[in-house]
Structure 1
Amino acid sequence: MSIFKRIRDIATADFHEALDRLEDPVSMLKQHMRELEQQLRKAHGALANQLYIEKKYQSIINETRNLVEKRSRQAELAVEKENDDIAMLALEDKLVNEAKLNACREQYQQIKSQTDLLCGQIDKLRAAYEELQTRKLALISRLNVAKATADIGKAAASFNPEFTVQGFNKAEDQALRLEAKAEASQYGLVKSNSIDHVHLNDQVEAELSKMKERKSVTV
C-alpha cells in the first residue's frame, strides 16, 4: 500500500549512511519520524475502516444465518401442515439467503485477510518508527559528546601553562606585598602607642614626686 512506501527507504543501509554523512542528521531524522507519524495515523485510519467493515459483514452474516434457520423452520412447519405453497416459498427464500450467506462468508474472509495484512504492515511501520527513535537518541548522545570534546579541545589548545603559572606568581607576589604593607602599618601604630605610653608614665611619676614634695613641706 502507498502509505507504507517510506518503510523501504528507511530500512535501507543507504538511508543510515546518509544520516552519518549529514551535518545535521538529527534534523533529517526528525523529519523522517514526522513522516512516519503521518503514515501511522493514516494506517490506523485505514485499520479502523477495515474493522468497521468486518463488523458490518459479521452483523450481515449473523442476520442472514438467523433468517436461513427461520425459513427452514417455517418450511418444516408448513410441510407438517401440508401447506406446500408456504413451504415452497419458505424454502425458496432459504436457498436465496443461503447463497447470500456463503457469499458474505467468503467476502468476510477476504476482508479479514486484508485486515491481517494491514496489521502486519502497521507493525513494520511502528518498528521502523521505534528504530528511528532509538537512533535519534543515539545520535543526540554522539553529537553531545562530540561537541563537549571539541569544546574541551579548544580550551586545551588555548591554555598556556607558563602564562598561567606566571599569573599565579604575580598574584601571590601582590598578596605578599599587601600583607607586608598591612603589617608595616600595624607596626607603626603599635610603636607609636608604646612611645606615648612611656612618656605618659614619666609625666605621672613627675606629678607624683611634686605632690610628695609639697606634702613634706606642709608637714
Structure 2
Amino acid sequence: MNIFKRLFRIGQAETHSAIDKLEDPIKMIEQGLRDLHTELDQANRALAEVKAMHIRRGNELKQYKEDEGAVHNKSILLLKKAQEGAMESNEADTLVKENLRKKAAISKKISITEQEANALQTQVTGLEGNVTKIKSSIGQWESELKTLRARVKVSNATQKINQQLMKMDSNSVAHMLERMKDKVLDEEALATAYGEMNKQEESHEEKVNKLIDDFSAEDELAKLKNQLGIENKSEPNVENDNTNPS
C-alpha cells in the first residue's frame, strides 16, 4: 500500500511539473491565431474553387436546357412540314426520331448536371459556414488576446511591486524613515546656519556704516590742530559770546 501511495505522489509531482512547463498562454493564443488564419486562407481558397465549379455547372446546365429546347423545336417544325406536305412523312419521322434521341441524351446531361450543381451548392453553403465560423473565432481570440496582454502587464507590475515590498520589511522601512528624518534635520540645521551667517555679515556692515555716519570732519580737524599746537580760529569766542552790550 505504501508503494502505491508513493507512486501516486510521484505521478502528481510529474503532472504539476508538466503543467508548470506549459508555454506562455499569450504565445499559445498567437500560434492558435496563426493556425486559424491559415485555415481561413484554405477555406477561402476552397470556397472560391467550389463556387467556380458551381458557376460552371450552372452555365452548362443553362446551355443544355437551351440545346434541349432547340432540338424540341426542330422536331415540331419537321412534323409540321410533313403535315403540310413540304417533306415526306418518313423522312420527317426519321429526323424527328434522331432529334428525340439527342433530346434524351441532353435530358440525361441536364439531370446529372443539376445533381452536380445541387451538390456544389451544398458544399458552398458548408464552406461559407466554415469561413464565417473561423472569422468569428479569430475575432474572439484576438479580443481575448488583447485582454490577456493587458492582464499580463498588470500582473507583472503587481508581482514586481509585491516582490519589492517583500524585500522591504517593517524594520528596514523604519530605518529608512529615520535616516530620512536625520537627513532632513541636517539640511534644516545647515540652512539655519547659513541664515545666521548672513545676519552676522549684515550686522558687521551696519556697524561700519554707522561709524562712517558718526564721523565728523570738523572734530577730527580740531583734534589735529590741537596736536600741532595750532589755535583753532574757527572755534567761537566764548567770552565775546557771553558779553552782552550795555
TM-score bracket for this pair, using the shorter chain length: 0.7 to 0.9
How far apart in 2 are the matches of 1:210 and 1:120? 119
Letter in structure 2 aligned against 1:150: Q
**Secondary structure of the corresponding residue to residue 133 of structure 2:** helix
Which of residues 214, 222, 234 is equivalent to 1:202? 214
Residue 15 (structure 1) aligns with: none
CA distance in 2, matches of 1:193, 1:89: 139
Which residue of the partner structure matches residue 80 of structure 1?
80
Distance 1:197 1:137 in 2: 77
Q: Partner letter of residue 104 of structure 1?
A: T
The 1:21–1:131 alpha-carbon spacing in structure 2 relative to 1, beyond 3 Å, is farther
What's the counterpart of residue 151 of structure 2?
A: 142
Q: CA deviation at 1:21?
A: 7.6
Q: Which one-letter code corresponds to 2:69 in the other structure?
A: E
TM-score by length of 2: 0.71
Q: Structure 1 residues 146 and 153, CA, compared in 2 at 3 Å: closer, same or farther?
A: same
Contact 1:19-1:28 within 8 A present in 2 as well: no
The residue type equivalent to 2:35 in the other structure is E
SS in 2 for 1:81: helix
Report the residue type matching 2:29 in the other structure: L
Amino acid aligned to 2:214: D
1:98-152 deviations in Å (ceiling 9; x for gaps): 1111111011111211222222233333333334323323322332222121112
1:21-60 residue pairs with structure 2 within 5 A? 22-60=22-60
Q: After TM superposition, where is structure 1 displaced by more than 6 Å over at least 4 residues in a row?
A: 18-21
Match of 1:176 in 2: 188
Which deviations, in whole Å up to 9, do the C-alpha atoms of 1:46-100 show, x marking residues without a partner? Answer: 1110000000000000111111111111111111111514433333322221111
The structure 2 residue matched to 1:164, chosen from 176, 179, 204, is 176
Equivalent pair of 2:71/2:102 in contact (CA under 8 Å): yes
Q: Considering only aligned residues, what root-mean-square deviation do their CA atoms show, in Å? A: 2.6
What's the TM-score once normalised by structure 1's chain length? Answer: 0.79
Aligned mates of 1:124, 1:158 — CA distance in 2: 50
Alpha carbons of structure 1 residues 201 and 138: separation in structure 2 relative to 1, 3 Å: closer
1:29 Cα offset (Å): 1.6
Alignment of 1:89-128 (within 5 A): 89-128=98-137
| Contact 1:19–1:29 (CA under 8 A) maintained in structure 2 | no
Larger Rg: 2
- Contact kept? 2:51, 2:120, Cα under 8 Å: no
CA distance in 2, matches of 1:140, 1:157: 25
Counterpart of 1:68 in structure 2: which amino acid? E
Kept in 1, the 8 Å contact 2:64–2:106? The answer is: yes
- In the alignment, structure 2 segments of 5+ residues that lack a partner are 1-17, 223-231, 237-246
CA contact (8 A) 1:54 1:108 kept: yes
Is the CA contact (8 Å cut-off) linking 2:78 and 2:96 kept in structure 1? yes
Name stretches of at least 5 consecutive residues in structure 1 with no aligned partner.
1-17
The aligned length equals 199
The structure with more helix, counted as a fraction of residues: 1
- Is residue 2:203 matched to residue 1:186? no
The residue number in structure 1 matching 2:14 is none
Deviation at 1:195, TM superposition (A): 1.5
Distance in structure 2 (CA, Å) of the matches to 1:75 and 1:20: 82
1:214 Cα deviation from its structure 2 partner: 5.0
Partner of 2:15: none
Identical residues among aligned pairs (%): 16
CA distance in 2 between partners of 1:19 and 1:113 (Å): 43
